[in-house]
Amino acid sequence: MTAVNETAQVNADIPVRDEVREAVHEAARRARVASRVLALLTTAQKDAALHAAADAVLAATETVLAANGADIDAARATGTEESLLDRLRLTAARVEGIASGLRQVAGLPDPVGEVLRGSTLPNGLEIRQLRVPLGVVGMVYEARPNVTVDAFGLALKSGNAALLRGSSSAANSNAALVEVLRGALEAQGLPADAVQLLPSADRSSVTHLIQARGLVDVVIPRGGAGLINAVVRDATVPTIETGVGNCHVYVHSAADLAKAEKIVLNSKTRRPSVCNTAETILVDAAIADTAVPALTQALQAHSVVIHGDLPDMVPATEADWSEEYLSLDVAMKVVANIDEAIDHIDRYGTGHTEAIVTDDLAAAREFTARVDAAAVMVNASTAFTDGEQFGFGAEIGISTQKLHARGPMGLPELTSTKWTVWGDGHTRPV
Amino acid sequence: MTAVNETAQVNADIPVRDEVREAVHEAARRARVASRVLALLTTAQKDAALHAAADAVLAATETVLAANGADIDAARATGTEESLLDRLRLTAARVEGIASGLRQVAGLPDPVGEVLRGSTLPNGLEIRQLRVPLGVVGMVYEARPNVTVDAFGLALKSGNAALLRGSSSAANSNAALVEVLRGALEAQGLPADAVQLLPSADRSSVTHLIQARGLVDVVIPRGGAGLINAVVRDATVPTIETGVGNCHVYVHSAADLAKAEKIVLNSKTRRPSVCNTAETILVDAAIADTAVPALTQALQAHSVVIHGDLPDMVPATEADWSEEYLSLDVAMKVVANIDEAIDHIDRYGTGHTEAIVTDDLAAAREFTARVDAAAVMVNASTAFTDGEQFGFGAEIGISTQKLHARGPMGLPELTSTKWTVWGDGHTRPV
């Protein structure tokens, strides 16, 4: 609470920000009230609400596309580049995809109420640890309007109220979608405040959200490194760091070169802009004479620019080893052995996904044991670190922190736990 | 990292603090190196080290007691009250207790390597989620020197390096104990930097520890509300909030009064200074005429001072409902029904332990479902919220936050997870 008051003092001479703070806090208080209702809903009630929301989104396609058109026009007018416009753009097919995402979440198992541990103690007390909702979950995210609906669906299924702080560039799209979702909840007799959109015109709403300790239970930022670092640095509310990935593929001396080429290419070129893409290729010195030319040729044939110390590469600087290119660029380095590979990963990696290509069992075991990351791959592409690929059905993000959740986060990661203890007049001896 | 640099700028004109910062960071870097070794130890190696440490502590009893004597003398010279002196004091019997605590941890199951989930995906990839150590764990705690050894033991068994920031009043005791532990580790061929004591003369070492983001994986404060709030507020390293307990016992209209009296008395008087003690008794209006006098008489017979709005009570103010007395004081309030009881708990509780006394099944189910706390008791004393009582064998603290761990924390709560993915040249389709 002190942090919140300090913020208030700092901003005392900026009335507009105080209004934003009040708006965020008021939304959080309403979310808390709604969360008390959500926590007690049956799975059947939540699934019915998700299907109703899907129907409502589909029925509102024209309104949503009109609102999205206004966002696209505004973005184009300020010279936004085409790749960003594409992330922002909705089409009838994309709206259908958003609705079917909600139906997919309705089909997932409900994490709430799952008994994680339990026993009858020697004194007869029956103790059980149950999954319960977190309560009020804040999300801060960038352009894609589909995240608005995805986050609502995952939060609702896990019994949480969602406070959504989307990008100002998607403000009209997000407002239209949230209005539809709130209407669908009300029609089901559920609290509309289960989902609320926070003001996005002013950046201070992010600050107020992440400093609303006691009002908000967790904030999950989804976006680039700048957003995530700012949230983690300034937050007093607990946060889950997501999605910053400086991922490596280590081609070990005992690698099958054909597999290595496939894995390196897939890890780098499948979708270069996502966090599980490989950014540095480490090649063992023992096979560098054959592997480096083969990998270089394969990557260059797919228009990848290679940064490194060898001929035909863009000269690499120290900064290249830390760079999350998120583009058709990759760094390449020859390492003496598995120790140097792991040391390099320890030093420059972000703990997201690290891969080894090898046919040597001992090397595979050593790499998986020693590398400290959310996911460690053996003879598989880094692109597999993904909630849907892991069989979670949907994901809210990929955690790169060690507390609470690490790696792809599905519904169980949006819950806390509660112990219940049933007795019959039990007291504890002194 | 930004936060660390900002700290450096703020303190740039205070050389003594910069030295403390460097000492903390250097210790954290050494802890990281040690943690890489600890993470790979077998259970047998860790258990052998724990037994060796127990032997070493016992063998050093005289040295440890001499150091403790110096702390006691210094504390007495500054007029420390007897109850605090008792928390600080070591005896031969207490040193034996500390050593047997280490042997007890050696006997607990090793959480590291436990497979939490796993499957073979449709494409043949084998994925597994394993428990792994957190890495470098910081502890900030108050007077009791036994916490130094307990924290070391739990950290070692879970494969973590421990950075210990104890109270300056226990500086000699803690230094003697840590020297013994480090010697025992070295004699076993293990890195002594698995346990390090941070400087306690200057309060800034706490700040530097909790802001060493990237160097320290988690900080767990154990102590009073002031310490915990300061840590949670100023930390950039993830923290686990522990042990602030404003616990309630709600005596429902369908309570068995004999059980209610036993449970209320045990919850308040067993050990009033610990976090699971009851601080407010809520009595249902339907039975207030008989229950209030009976409970009042029973509590007063045990020297408990009652704060409330009824005759024979110290008049209660709004502050009493939030007060964590940690003494033989308790607040008492008559509530209209279960709704008012739960609303009161929602408003004033700290989410630690809440109890209902009732013979009515529906009321018990409603209370356990609706109350948002780490532990909810039915017909049982709040004193049962405790790692040893729950069968964990040992506890590092009681978390009152919702992320990562909630309630008593044992060895599994000192771990993170890692996904391993084994394939045979697998790539992900576009």
Note the pLDDT tens digit of each residue in B118-173.
999 999 999 999 999 999 999 999 878 999 999 999 999 999 999 999 999 999 99
- What's residue A201's pLDDT? 87
CB contact under 8 A, B125 and A384: yes
Instruction: List CB contacts (< 8 A) between A401 and chain B.
Output: 238
- What's residue A6's pLDDT? 35
Residue B98 in contact with residue B60, Cβ under 8 Å? Answer: no
- What's residue B196's pLDDT? 98
Kind plus residue range of the DSSP H or E element containing B148 = helix B146-157
Average pLDDT, chain A: 93
User: What pLDDT digit, counting tens, does each position of B263-303 carry?
Assistant: 999 999 999 988 999 999 999 999 999 999 999 999 999 99
Cβ-nearest to B401 among A232, A238, A430? A238
Pick from A288-297, B323-332, B393-402: least confident: B393-402
d(CA A83, CA A52): 33
User: What pLDDT digit, counting tens, does each position of A246-305 carry?
Assistant: 999 999 999 999 999 999 999 999 999 889 999 999 999 999 999 999 999 999 999 999
Pick from A116-125, A137-146, A410-419: least confident: A137-146
Pick from A169-173, A393-397, B122-126, B236-240: least confident: A393-397
d(CA B335, CA B358): 15
State how beta strands A407-409 and A397-399 pair: antiparallel
Residue recorded with tokens 């306690």: B200
pLDDT top residue among A391 and B10: A391
- What's residue A16's pLDDT? 55
Pick from A11-25, A254-268, A333-347, B42-56: least confident: A11-25
- What's residue B9's pLDDT? 39
Is the predicted pLDDT of residue A11 greater than 50, yes or no? no
**Domains in chain A, CATH or no CATH each:** 2-241+410-418 (3.40.605.10), 247-384 (3.40.309.10)
Residue recorded with tokens 């915990």: B228
Buried b (16+ CB within 10 A) or exposed e, A208-236: bbbbbbebbbbbbbbbeeebbbbbbebbb
Residue B381 in contact with residue B270, Cβ under 8 Å? Answer: yes
DSSP lists the bridge partners of residue A382 as none
State how beta strands B161-165 and B195-197 pair: parallel
Cβ-nearest to B380 among A218, A373, A423? A423
Q: Say if A226 is an interface residue toward chain B (CB within 8 Å).
A: no
Q: Say if B378 is an interface residue toward chain A (CB within 8 Å).
A: yes
d(CA B266, CA B282): 15
Pick from A302-311, A371-380, B312-321, B391-400: least confident: B391-400
Query: What are the structure tokens assigned to A379, written together?
Result: 């003879």
Give the confidence band of A4 by pLDDT, cuts at 50, 70, 90.
very low
Phi, psi of A125 (to 5 degrees): -65, 135
Q: How far from chain centre, in Å, is Cα A271?
A: 16
Phi, psi of B217 (to 5 degrees): -85, -35
Q: Say if B383 is an interface residue toward chain A (CB within 8 Å).
A: yes
User: What pLDDT digit, counting tens, does each position of B248-268 carry?
Assistant: 999 999 999 999 999 999 999
CB contact under 8 A, A420 and B259: no
* Residue A397, SS3 per DSSP: strand
Average pLDDT, chain B: 93
Residue A131 in contact with residue A114, Cβ under 8 Å? Answer: yes
Could you tell me where the beta strands, DSSP code E, fall in B255-391? Answer: 278-284, 305-308, 314-315, 329-335, 353-357, 375-380
Average pLDDT over residues B95-115: 96
Give the confidence band of A344 by pLDDT, cuts at 50, 70, 90.
very high
Instruction: Work out the number of other CB atoms within 10 angstroms of the CB of residue B203.
Output: 12
Query: What strands lie across the sheet with A195-197, from one edge to the other?
Result: A195-197, A161-165, A136-141, A218-222
Give the confidence band of A17 by pLDDT, cuts at 50, 70, 90.
low
A290 CB-contact burial (10 Å; exposed 0-12 / middle 13-18 / buried 19+): exposed
Q: Say if A421 is an interface residue toward chain B (CB within 8 Å).
A: yes
Residue A125 in contact with residue B384, Cβ under 8 Å? Answer: yes
